[in-house]
Amino acid sequence: MAADARLMAQVDPATTVLLTVECQQGVVGESSALPELAAAARDSGALGNVARLVDAAHGSGVQVVHALAVRRPDGRGASRNARLFRAAERLPVQQVIGTPAAQVAAPVAVADGDFVVRRLHGLSPLAGTDVDALLRNLGCRTVVITGVSANVAIPNSVFDAVNAGYVAVVPEDAIAGVPAAYVPELVRHSLALVATVTRTDDVVACWKGPQRPAESAGASPGQS
């Protein structure tokens, strides 16, 4: 597949970070606390496409950041100001730091050069975490956002990235939510208004094709 020139310019490996959101065993793995979401991620092919994007990123020098939602064993520091958080406290599988549930799920690979960022609170991997500072220090201009869920964390990630000055790219076949019919509606009526919506194959083609020189990409957000 030939790479699209506009998309290739946006996802230049020198200035792009691939962000995987909550692709952890306790969320999308076989022992998920949210089996309906886990099934949607697997059955739609979204989890496999996240793995494909991670592999392509590793092969082309794109920085990968894995954002995980976790809890302390004692629950301290966790948010309780929404129904979602209180319901999560009662789930049979808890995303406790150091347990398998809080580890990146297969088939998504974690390379030595990847960053794994864990958050104890909130809905977004960018707000109140190390991710924004990491992106700026890495010279990032574009964030390719993948993972789950399209119901909460993915739109939060997209809006936060755009508000922080980044270009957001969303491979629509590498995100999942429930019900499955909701995902294309979210993409069409919300995410497409603020992000570049594309497909996994298109991003992979860009990363496998000829790349622009890094110096042509410009400065990262907040830099001159």
Among 138, 198, 165, 221, which Cα is nearest to 7's?
Answer: 198
pLDDT surpassing 60 at residue 12: yes
CA atoms within 13 A on the CB side of 174: 27
Q: pLDDT tens digits for 64-108?
A: 999 999 999 998 998 888 888 888 888 889 999 999 999 999 999
Q: Residue 21 forms beta bridges with which residues?
A: 67, 147
Model pTM score: 0.90
Q: Residue 197 forms beta bridges with which residues?
A: 170
pLDDT of res. 1? 58
130-154 exposure pattern, b = at least 16 Cβ within 10 A, e = fewer: bbbeebbebbbbbbbbbbbbbbbbb
Distance CA 19, CA 16 (A): 10
* Tokens 């700026």 found at: 136
Angle between helices 46-60 and 35-43 (to 10 degrees): 60
Q: pLDDT tens digits for 116-125?
A: 999 999 999 9
Distance CA 60, CA 11 (A): 11
Among 194, 144, 150, 189, which Cα is nearest to 170's?
Answer: 144
Question: What φ, ψ does residue 192 adopt, rounded to 5°?
Answer: -65, -15
Asked whether 92 and 98 are in contact (CB, 8 A), the reply is no
